Copies of this chain bind each other. A is one copy, B any other.
Amino acid sequence: MSPGEFELIERYFTGRGAVRDDVRLSVGDDAAIVTPRAGADLVLALDTIVADVHFPADTGSRFVGHRALAVNLSDLAAMGAEPAWALLGLTLPAADESWLAGFASGFDELARRFGVALVGGDTTRGPLAATVTVGGWVPVGEALTRSGARHGDDLWVSGTTGDAGAGLAILQARLAAGGAIREQLLRRFLLPEPRVGLGRSLRGIADACIDISDGLAGDLAKLCRASGVGARLDCARLPRSPQLLESAGEVASMRFALTAGDDYELLFTAPPASRHRIEELAAATPVSLVGEITAKPGIHLQGAGLERDLVHGFDHFTD
């Protein structure tokens, strides 16, 4: 970027997101300064989205701005953390003002909604990609992790799965849908909703938690490996939306629900004794009981006409 462009872009990203009194120095210096929270651990995530890898390059820039932040907020949700601030590394081929305005508005709207201040970052010329770091706070020792699942735990998932994958398939003309169904599925891909409130509610309840970014089956396999356990997944209980079933049918909707990424729902485990408390949480965010954690490693699928082991997560499953 030329210096003039730098300044233009800096203006686009100054004062974005929430106003927070723990931000001592924001966008415009060599680094940002924030005040830590007493009694809290600092939780940090970094995710990159790349054009034509994580989203079609011609996706509206408002959706790209939303996505760049949402995928990171989802990581903090999976830890049970409260997001506080973000830094943005944006690489783009040219300083296109209308593209930048859309990106900034999508980022800003989501950031304000979750109380996140944009405190710094870097804009560079290059192939379209965005890397965001989000930081937040969790009471000392209360963070959720992937590694705490125990034999006998219930396995839960929030919301519905597969919708975002179907939305991407519609965008890429691999799946046909029209009207309200099309709009709902596109929305699930374009405007993923991080489950920040649910994640915080699960502190002290869930034994393990992960967000579904790479597909339910693959992310379940990661959680199980990290915890040294296995899982039995009851496919008949997988929460599939009416829109997904209507557009994709029984077989393809199951494949989307199990293996498509980008849902950003939370997959978590908890002792059966916590069922009542978890069902109470469902008043704010729908959750479904979809299986159980087993001592034997590996993922066993059953229900809905399936009875098989997943050998290495979704890589082999999708063969």
Contacts and interface: CB of A to CB of B under 8 A. Distances in A.
Interface of A: 2-4, 24-25, 28-37, 40-54, 74-76, 78-79, 81, 85, 87-89, 91, 119-122, 124-127, 129, 131, 133, 135, 138, 140, 143, 145-147, 209-211, 214, 218, 226, 312-315
A90 B168 CA distance: 24
Contacts of A4: 315
Given A36-B42, A50-B91, A89-B131, A78 B138 contact: no
Contacts of A81: 31
Contacts of A209: 30
A243 B226 CA distance: 53
A32 B44 contact: yes
A29 B211 contact: no
Interface SS of chain A: helix, strand, loop or mixed? strand
A30 B45 contact: yes
Contact of A79 (B31, B119, B131, B146): B31
A109 B94 CA distance: 35
Nearest to A3: B315
B28 A43 contact: no
Given A46-B88, A52-B126, 15 more contacts: A2-B315, A3-B315, A24-B143, A25-B145, A30-B76, A31-B75, A33-B41, A33-B143, A36-B42, A46-B131, A47-B122, A48-B89, A48-B131, A50-B124, A133-B133
Contacts of A2: 315
